[in-house]
Amino acid sequence: MSWGLFIIVLIISFTVVRIGAIAFQLTGLEWSLAKFQSLSCFTGTGFTTKEAELITGNKQRRRIASVLMVLGNAGLVIMIATLASSLNPQQLINTKLSEPLLPFSVPPYMVRWINLTTIIVAVYIIYRLFTNPRFSKRLTDFLRTKIVKKEIFKRVSFEELLLATGGYGVSKVQIASDSPVLDKTLLEARIRRLDITILAIIRGDKTIPNPSADAKILLGDELLCFGKLKNIRDKLCLPSK
């Protein structure tokens, strides 16, 4: 049935957007921004110059965005085609691709309206389901667990909180075991020379604001930084080569 295919594609589309959002989050984007970017890529709308810079400046995000764009275009074409087919009763009757939900016979002209009503109700139910906080959280947790377990996307410990003019912004970096600045003081790590200012060190429940140059960077610390986002990502997150 054409309307059945439409509903299946719609459900897959919602799921793909959610997977895209999780993938973007694993690359360091804040969750609300990750959801918006995933939807923007899938639908091809909503991008701004500053937000696009977050995607184009990262190889892994560009790959995720490319997949979302391709799937989005394919899904749109399929949904338009199946919607048009479901509203063409003569074609449905001739090809037997779709039948009304009612168990008894109905006039051909009623097929269009039955299928249209079915699609509208299904779209509403699917939308309410995927926007339900409890269902959305369970689905997101399930998908995130599967993605992380299969290592489909590499998780990074870098979160861009604010993108400013010229590629500067405020970022939060979690220090991992392969960080080039691990177990070094801010002076030894030459943070200032990298055009990066450490605004605070978050260590568990303790926050060290405006840390001094002799403050040591420990495993698990979160550094609240201001500076060139590329430098923060490349010099604080990635291991030395």
pLDDT of residue 87: 59
* Beta-carbon contacts of residue 110 (< 8 Å; ≥ 6 apart): 89, 100
Contact call for residues 172 and 199 (beta carbons, < 8 A)? no
Distance CA 211, CA 133 (A): 39
Q: Contact 66/24 with Cβ under 8 angstroms?
A: no
> Integer distance in angstroms from the first to the last C-alpha of the chain?
56
For residue 197, the SS3 value is strand
Q: How far apart are CA 56 and CA 175, in angstroms?
A: 24
Interatomic CA distance for residues 156 and 133, integer angstroms: 26
Single-letter amino acid, residue 131: T
pLDDT at 111: 64
CATH of range 158-237; options 3.40.50.2300, 3.30.360.10, 3.30.70.1450, 3.10.450.50? 3.30.70.1450
- Total count of residues recorded for the chain: 241
26: helix, strand or coil: helix
Long-range CB pairs of 207-216, under 8 A, 24+ apart, other chains included: 211/186, 212/186, 213/185, 213/186, 213/187, 214/185, 214/186, 214/187, 215/185, 215/186, 216/183, 216/184, 216/185
What pLDDT is attached to residue 174? 82
* pTM of structure: 0.55
Report the alpha-carbon distance of residue 66 to residue 56 in Å, rounded: 10
Q: Using an 8 Å Cβ cutoff, are 178 and 196 in contact?
A: no
Residue range 59-89, pLDDT digits in tens: 778 888 888 888 888 777 777 776 666 656 5
Q: Using CA atoms, how far apart are residues 21 and 31, in angstroms rounded to an integer? A: 7
Using 70 as the pLDDT threshold, list the residues of the chain that sit under it: 1-3, 46-54, 57-58, 82-112, 151-166, 237-241
Q: Determine the pLDDT at residue 51.
A: 64
Look-up: residue for tokens 């037997």?
Answer: 96
User: What's the mean per-residue pLDDT of the chain?
Assistant: 76
CA distance 216 to 182: 8
- Give the pLDDT confidence score for residue 97 in this predicted structure: 40
Q: What is the pLDDT of residue 185?
A: 92
Greatest CA separation for the chain = 83
Q: What is the pLDDT of residue 23?
A: 85
pLDDT score of 215: 92
pLDDT at 208: 92
| Sequence-ordered alpha helix ranges (H) in 132-211 | 133-150
